[in-house]
Structure formats: structure tokens, C-alpha cells
Amino acid sequence: YDKDSRCFDIVPVPARFGSVHCDPMKLDSLFEKNREWAKDIESQSPGFFTRLQQQQSPQYLWIGCSDSRVPANEIVGLLPGELFVHRNVANLVVHSDLNCLSVMEFAIDSLQVKHIIVCGHYQCGGIRAAMSNTSFGLIDNWLRHVKDVYRLHLNDLQNIADESKRYDRLVELNVMQQVYNLCKTSIVQSGWQKGEFPYIHGWVYDVNDGDRKS
């Protein structure tokens, strides 16, 4: 355990994995960056990590895409402890996905988050893959849900001649569908039966300018 970086390195890497997957220089730089980050936070807000040890109390659940260009906390300027996050390829809410449902249930019932944000993004590789007829392996089954969104809006989408505009529109329609799916889950429905929360929001983040569009 490195006290300054607050990281455990618990899995010594066997040599047989070679240097391609585990470049020690690169990992060292990650630890170094982490150490600097922790130091910055602590100097800006003394006692920050001690306070975090007590309990997390985020007000928001973020359901976003796994894309590395859309890091949840960073783009909305929230610190550790302020945002509960679930990410998957193309920010999908699937009623049989136990991973997402478990996150939602914990966020609503235990953390009592007030808002759930489904955030898609333009230039989404998952959406682009779903628009094509190419096979990408196992993920084809996951992207089937996006292809269903395309099918539901087939006429509207086919009327958009410009392919990049059609792509953008599918990103938006996909977020709308996931918001709908979210609202129909038993978890959100029972939350609404007990009170007014959670509020549900659908956003699209623009990787071109770093802005978010509702």
C-alpha cells in the first residue's frame, strides 16, 4: 500500500505476461499521477479523504458510456463522493441487466440519490457500430438494443440523408429510449410511488467541444 497515492498494488505481475500488457514504466507514471492528484486534493481541501472515509452521499447517479473521452466526474466537475457511476458501451439501460439494476437499486434505496442522468455522446463508437452491418463479436448482442432503437425510428432516420446527422440523431434517440427504459424499471416506479424522486435526465455530451446538450 502506498500511503501517498492511496493505492494498493496487490497483484504482482508474472513475468510471462511480458512487457506489452504490463509496462512497469507506464504503471509507475500512473501511481505518480495518482500521488500528485491526492496531494492536490488534500492541499485544496485538508481532511478531504478522512471525511470521505465516513460515508458517501452522492446526489446523482450517472449512467454513461464507457468511452474514455467521457469521464463522468471530470466533465461535470464533481469530486469523489459526489457522483455514483455506472458505465457501459452506448449507455444502455436494459431491464435484464443485473449489473445496471443493482447499481440503480443501491443508488435509489440506499444512497437516496435525487437525480439519475443518462448521458450519451456524439461520436459514440458503440452507436456507430450498431449502425453498420459489420460483426464485432460478442458485443453484437449488446448493440442489438441500439439496433432496436434504430428499427423503432426507422422512417425518421431514413429521412436523414446526411449520414453524420443520422448518426447524431441515433445518439439522441438512444438516450431518449434509455430514459424511457429507466422510467419503466420497477426500481424507479417504486421510488415514484413512495415520493417524487428520482428525477430522470437525458443528456448528450459533445466530445467536439466538451459541452453537454439536453
Residue ranges that bind Zn ion, judged by CB under 5 A = 65, 67, 124, 126
Closest separation between CB of residue 116 and Zn ion, Å?
Answer: 18
Give me the catalytic one of 86, 100, 119, 121.
121
DSSP string computed for the chain:
-BTTTTB----PPPGGGHHHH--HHHHHHHHHHHHHHHHHHHHHSTTHHHHHHH----SEEEEEE--TT--HHHHTT--TTSEEEEEETT----TT-HHHHHHHHIIIIIS--SEEEEEEETT-HHHHHHHS----STHHHHHHHHHHHHHHTHHHHHT--SHHHHHHHHHHHHHHHHHHHHHHSHHHHHHHHHSSPPEEEEEEEETTTTEEE-
If the CB atoms of residues 167 and 197 are measured against Zn ion, the closer one turns out to be 167
Q: Known catalytic residue: 69? A: yes
If the CB atoms of residues 23 and 148 are measured against Zn ion, the closer one turns out to be 148
If the CB atoms of residues 139 and 183 are measured against Zn ion, the closer one turns out to be 139
Q: Known catalytic residue: 124? A: yes
Q: Known catalytic residue: 86? A: no
Closest separation between CB of residue 90 and Zn ion, Å?
Answer: 6
Closest separation between CB of residue 71 and Zn ion, Å?
Answer: 12
Catalytic residues: 65, 67, 69, 121, 124
